[in-house]
Amino acid sequence: MGCAATTVKISSIILNLIMAIFAICAIIWISFNPDYIQEQLAIIVYIACSLIVFFAFLGCFAAVRESMCLMATCAVFLLLLAIVQIVFTSNDISEGGMRNGFSIVNDAWESNSMDEIQIEHECCGKTSANDYVVLSKPIPISCYVDQDYTKVSNLFTEGCSSKLQTYYEDEWWHCSVISWILIAFELIAFLLAVFLVINFRNTQRRMRF
């Protein structure tokens, strides 16, 4: 194996390891942020990232063993996965996986279960604390910093609908960035895998003569 092929082989191993680490981090990140993404999409992400980890390590093994068959399998999978991710990440359909902050707040408002949202996101009412005043309802202590209602300055002034929606949009943007990073790694790993498959095949041919 020439110097260039050896360099590509080492680069492929390193890239696959980095890709596996990114996928594992994505799984952990979504596990700790389950609220902003729909359960069905979360399951798809878990499966996709798990497959990335599996084929990344398989790619490392194939590179070390110089297995043309395993490397070709990894190359095909990485290309298919990258295409699927590009479609879901760039298409408006993927936005359906983001939870709607407005509907969540509306449901909580109708069921009188705003306290958890107001404490966690430091907001009050749907649009503001005035929502309670208009309905002649007392402003709940969950609308105050540390639930200290003795000071007017402790009152959260921002409504929960816009704040929760902004939170979900920010988190979804982070998810999209991670997805594009993984896509870039997958495409580069695919190109390196194709190079190694060709190199392994040529090496096997030379060994026959």
Query: For each of the chain's 209 residues, which pLDDT tens digit applies?
Result: 557 778 888 888 888 898 889 889 888 877 876 665 666 667 777 888 888 899 889 888 888 888 888 888 888 988 998 898 888 777 654 455 556 778 889 888 988 889 989 998 899 999 999 999 998 889 999 999 988 888 888 899 899 988 888 887 777 787 778 888 888 888 998 998 888 888 878 777 766 65
- The three-state (H, E, C) secondary structure of 90-150, written as one string: HCHHHHHHECCHHHHHHHHHHCCCCHHHHHHHCCCCCCCCHHHHHCCCCCCHHHEHHHCCC
What pLDDT score does 22 carry?
85
- Long-range contacts: 86-92, Cβ < 8 Å, 24+? 86/183, 88/179, 89/176, 89/179, 89/180, 89/183
pLDDT for the residue numbered 93 = 46
Residue 7 is predicted with a pLDDT of: 83
Give domain limits for the chain.
3-98+171-208, 101-162
What is the per-residue pLDDT for 141? 93
0.75 cut: is pTM over it? no
- With a CB cutoff of 8 Å and minimum separation 6, the contacts of 10 are none
Q: What was the pLDDT predicted at 174?
A: 76
First to last CA, the chain: 16
Q: Is 37 helix (H, G, I), strand (E, B) or coil?
A: strand
Q: Which of 121, 143, 148, 119 is nearest to 132 (CA)?
A: 143
pLDDT at 84: 86
